[in-house]
A and B are shown apart, each in its own frame.
Chain A
Amino acid sequence: MRERITFVQKEGDSIEPTALKVDGNGLKGPEVKAVREDRLTFALDELPAELKALLEGVNQLHVRWVSPVAYEAVSPLLARLPPGFHLFYTPGSDASINPCPLLTKAFGLDSCSSPSDSFTTLPTDRFTHSTTHQFYQPLPSLKAFAHFARSLLCPPGSPSSCSSRLGSLTAASQLDLSYDTISHTLRLTSLWPYSPQSLSASLLSPTIRTEIGILSQTSPKTLEPHEIGISGLLTVLGQSTTPSPTLFSFPSRHRDSSSSFQAHFLPPTGLHPTLQLSISSPSPPAKSPTEETCRLHGYFTLPKTLFPDRHQLNDPLFLSSKNLTAVRYITPGIDLEAPEYVTSTWGSALLLELAPPHSSSGKEWTAEIPLHLRYLPPSLTGYQKAEVPYPALFWACTAEEGTKFPGNPFEKDRVGYDGLFGERTVFWHLNPSPADGKLVNTVKVPVLNLEKADWVGTVTGAVVVAGFAWVVIKLLGVVVMGGKKVGEDKKKKQ
């Protein structure tokens, strides 16, 4: 087991080594504004039996959790996903292994029953670096996971810092769990938003090798256009008491486009709500060395309460009226009719290319995504809520021929959309900036009002029976009158 703790300040901010106190148990320093990332790496043998047994049976398992509370990200930790619990999964040779029970226990999920029921399949023919299955559900907090992690990592006798550090997971804005058979290690990465905090780090356990970095982005002149530079201080607890300065650079897939956006539903939402994206600028990121190849995309994970209709999103005229270009990916096999309560798969993923207006002025503009609600179960008020996460918006730019993206120390992959693009794609993210600070929109869904439903069965039955009886009486009338007529005819003849 080993740990890496990183504080990332904004470009230009730095800290003097003398301001830091380092000893075998931890690091103490002044309060600064920074992002904090903690990364724990486990070998399989270091994991509890239940988790080890599961991971040994899978090929790839990647959990990506994002907080619904808007947060500020700092380069190079810029990768974004829609808020909620994402799972990207490739089963091992034994396809009957079910990760759902353990994940449900660990995260407090409520809609993960088994890969065959709950997961959707991803295209693996496009690019080799994607997993075969996807699962998502809205999950507002890491409370359940913090509890689970404490029971796992802080056995009786651990220092109190163990418990308090894992408790602080509830304030994290991102959490990643990554396992694949090649590395044979499980990585737990948590990220706290850019905020004032004291530079302090304590050991989870005395046996763990802990590396601490206080870094910020830098732009030396020698940098290649697709690279970013990092400078700062590094130290390993227990090995040295003075942090050593460092400077390195690497190509990064996730960059900041310096634009922002908001998403909200256009009223009235009805049963066919339209999600409107308000985007601050129509221009591609000026910093991209290959600006002309950039295309603006939106990646949506839509819970099963609503869905996009890929047939509706097929018509160029309709799409351009919504400032959309085309659907680049949509989960196949979405049922367009079934109510939510009989749908077992989690929902659908949608990758849309947007069509920014051509004007060179950097004016705010909008794009609209038409969606369709499923029928939800009846309620006592006549309404239900459907929560729809913000999409991830980014300019996808193709880097120059021959550009390689070797593993970078802050690389975040398996984020859903990266598997839908080529290896040389750079994602320039737009910053979601909701007015209310929440990365989730709520739609009020009209449903059947159970309060008024007591008599529905009885009255419907009575009305149908009455209608039936009326028609039968009229038929009998025809029979009787017909008989009379025949009689009359006979009389006349006689």
Chain B
Amino acid sequence: MLAKRIIPCLDVRDGQVVKGVQFRNHEIVGDIVPLAQGYAAAGADELVFYDITASSDERVVDKSWVSRVAEVINIPFAVAGGIKSVAAARDILAMGADKISINTPALRDPDLINTLVDEFGQQCIVIGIDSFYNQQSGDYEVHQFTGDEARSGKTNWQTSDWVQEVIRRGAGEIVLNCMNQDGVRRGYDIEQLKNVRKQCTVPLIASGGAGSMEHFYEVFSQAQVDGALAASVFHKAVIQIPQLKDYLRAQGISIRP
């Protein structure tokens, strides 16, 4: 049986791993390579590296760390952040990344999704979606430039429409980041994830809100997501991956030993 994936997310800024609360006030967690190695050894099923400054700064970011990570770890990993072209994607994949994840650039130019899928295949194109629940309107809004306080804001897309659009264009996987929950450790947005799961024919990864082992159990058992992504609970050692996996297995969730 296909195992549910536990995916530590490492937000990268200027070559170091950082963590903010609701995308703000970033603090340095540590160096990329030893953190990646540590997570792989602890049993992480996959890693995601988000270069959170790249999309918003309009600059070319030094990605040499991608090959340093690829050299040492033997689990798959995705790289996100500022990948706006076929050439940029090719560079990242050539350095040893297994997947690239596109967020704001896909919103700015949706054709980028199908262009990348045609060039590299569906399996390595992940679309990240930052979804915000607007309590006043009751809408789920897609946001962009979330790495940059000055430019971040909502788009005209409703989350479910954008999910359909990226699947139609060939996306191989979707990471749904529920912004209201991000960094606050009160649990994944089960209701939203359940709704997206129903219409999502590609693998779906939950992101935002993990605070306890029970939250992982909830999201796997109730929202049927394929993977659960988390950052601070792992970086701050609130949850240890081996214990988390033992716990989930004891609850009957399919987990890789």
A and B bind: no
